[in-house]
Amino acid sequence: MKLTIFVINILLWSCQTNSNPQNNTDSKSEKDYSYLDLSDQFKNHWFDGKAEVASYDLTQMRYGEAREGSAVLIFVKEPFLPKTQVKANNASAKTVDVMKLNYTKKFNTGIYPYSIMQSVFSPLTTQPHALKVTATIQEWCGQTYMQLNNRNQFDIKLHSYFEGEADQDFKIDKNLLENELWTKLRVNPKNIPTGQLKVIPDFSYFRLQHKDVKAYDAQINQVTNKDTLLTILEYQHIKRTLKVYQNSKFPYIILKWQEIENDTTEAILNKSMRIDYWTKNANQYQFLRDSLNLK
């Protein structure tokens, strides 16, 4: 009888110890950082259920020549699952709000087109880095895909049709990402890090230039001129400088940017609107592209 009771107690203790870690995991929030002290002005603007869609006239340098094209920046606040690092269908205790940027470029090189898209998911929290960054480049020769996940280090996956790149899976130390600079400039440009630091260049730079992914020494400066704020990111050991011009007052709309390598790529604001574009996918809404001067 005593043996039976002893065995039952052992089984009960075993079940409890097996379930406790799971319970602790469920009760512990996946958000291991605190929200930024966001102003009411910020919340009223970005938590309204709409995105900012802005079109830009693009002059893209490629193969030593200037190519006319278009760029689009889409900024939107949305719920994100930090553990699985995907957009959440609905906000919950397991989600964190992020500022998402979808950034596209389209231009032609002679007979064939280029299409570039990059996505950045930056939490509106004290977590210093984006949770996820992706980049794709498609053209008639083939396509490449690159993804960063923010975990213990930056976990990076790369898939490319180029010999010598192919399929890669590697980690790099965490440093400021040029890609996340865009979202930081929209949340609060006065809070971005400045001075000498290490920066991981734009993902499309790595793929277009076929460079190894790593951080480089860089300098970030800001200059205010009347109503415009200019942020300058200049790399020390590669030929790349990024200049972003934006309104110096909230909501800090991006007016123009330049990517200076051997030549200068430039994008100038054309049209901008606040819209829940994901509900406007029927043919009857195609006229809205005219409002953005999109072909």
Largest CA distance in the chain: 89
Mean pLDDT of 11-16: 38
State pTM to two decimals: 0.88
CA dihedral 39, 226, 53, 179 (to 10 degrees): -80
More confident residue, 140 or 166: 140
pLDDT of residue 156: 98
Contact by Cβ (8 Å): 244, 230: yes
Domain ranges of the chain: 34-289
The whole-chain average pLDDT of the chain stands at 90
Mean pLDDT of 258-266: 97
pLDDT of residue 32: 63
pLDDT at 198 > cutoff 60? yes
